[in-house]
Amino acid sequence: MEINTKIKEELEGRIKGLEDFIAENGIGSKQLNKAKKVQRDGNIAIFVGGLVTIAGLAIWAISRNTKD
C-alpha cells in the first residue's frame, strides 16, 4: 500500500507541474493572465468602494447626531 501511495503522489505532482507549465506557457495563457488581472482589479475596486461607503455612512451618522 505504501508503494501505491508514493506512486500516486509522484504522478499527482508531475501532473500538477505539467498543468502549471501549460497555464504559464500554453495557448491562451496571456488571456488568462489578463483575466486574472482584471478580476483582481475589480475586487480591489469593490473593496475600496465598500470602505468608502461605510466611512461615509459613519461620518453621516456622527454628524447627524451632533446637530441634535
Is pLDDT larger for residue 31 or for residue 66?
Answer: 31
Residue 37, C-alpha cell as written in the block: 488581472
pTM for this structure?
A: 0.57
- Chain-centroid distance of CA 57 in Å reads 28
Q: List, for residues 15-43, the tens digit of each pLDDT value.
A: 999 988 888 888 888 888 899 999 999 99
Please identify which residue in the block is written with the cell numbers 500500500: 1
Closest residue by Cα to residue 59 from 32, 39, 51? 51
State the average pLDDT over residues 38-57: 97
What is the number of structural domains in the chain?
1
pLDDT score of 67: 59
Please give the residue range of the domain that contains residue 10.
2-67
Torsion of CA 59, 60, 61, 64, to 10 degrees: 120
Region 5-9 average pLDDT: 91
